[in-house]
Structure 1
């Protein structure tokens, strides 16, 4: 079961957070796991396991795609990063643990982080308790980005 994410992690504290969480879970912090983590933290996009694998092959030519995918999945389960499961798309990963949401351009597939504190702080609809207990909120916005709109790609 996934641990609740520590939303106050800063980039300076991410490595210490990684060490602590792995230690608590009894997971050895191998060189490959550390390099995968560093690549995710440095990523300016929301990469797939395949993209991380390609980026790491320069530093770690023998790293297997399966190792990257299993490590990213483990990090998701531990709350070290998030797995994005966008409808109809491949699985992507996000190391930004700040509370945020995602805008997905349905034309060019670009993903942008969206910060929306009003949504995050809004009260839940009445009757939600009869459905179950909400543990996290994540909003996915689908539409066309400014560039695709400007190109007339509606």
Structure 2
């Protein structure tokens, strides 16, 4: 079982309205992929989402999950978290936040950093073009993994 939060009807209505605004049909697969992603707190990969969905939709293909995630991300309805060391991970778009990624267990945690969000960008960036978003990914070793590594070193 994975950690999850319940997805309420209001969140689902917001998603459906966003799909209509983007000109996307609201298909059963899109709803189920979004529902799974919106309820997950572990920033799952496409493969993990596929495994979870197969419990209730045994015929859903991995290709369908990939295509659905790609479409939803392209339309800004979900976020794709590109990582250096592991497959892309995904999350439902929500409050602006950044990510901590453990290089040992690959767990991704959210954190807010208002200072970074509000600080003016360096001079000259405006001439580059339109900045859509800012995202900070901080890499390191989480407390659980650090403790395990220290215990191994003591043995």
TM-score by length of structure 2 reads: 0.84
Deviations 1:46-101 (A, max 9, x none): 00111111101111010111111111111111111101111132111011421000
Report what 1:46 is aligned to: 43
The runs of 5 or more residues in structure 1 that have no matched partner are 1-9
Report what 2:115 is aligned to: 118
Q: 1:87 aligns with which of 51, 61, 84?
A: 84
Report what 1:17 is aligned to: 14
Q: 1:151 aligns with which of 144, 148, 151?
A: 148
Following superposition, the deviation at residue 131 of structure 1 comes to: 3.5
Question: Runs in 1 of length 4+ with deviation above 3 angstroms?
Answer: 10-13, 130-133
Q: Which moved more, 1:13-22 or 1:93-102?
A: 13-22
Q: Distance in 1 between matches of 2:101 and 2:145?
A: 12
Report what 1:69 is aligned to: 66
Contact 2:38 2:92 in 1 (8 A): yes
Q: RMSD over aligned Cα, in angstroms?
A: 2.0
Which structure ranks higher in relative contact order (CA pairs < 8 Å, sequence separation ≥ 6)? 1
The count of aligned residue pairs is 145
TM-score by length of structure 1 reads: 0.85
Q: Distance in 2 between matches of 1:11 and 1:122?
A: 34
Report what 1:29 is aligned to: 26
The runs of 5 or more residues in structure 2 that have no matched partner are 1-6
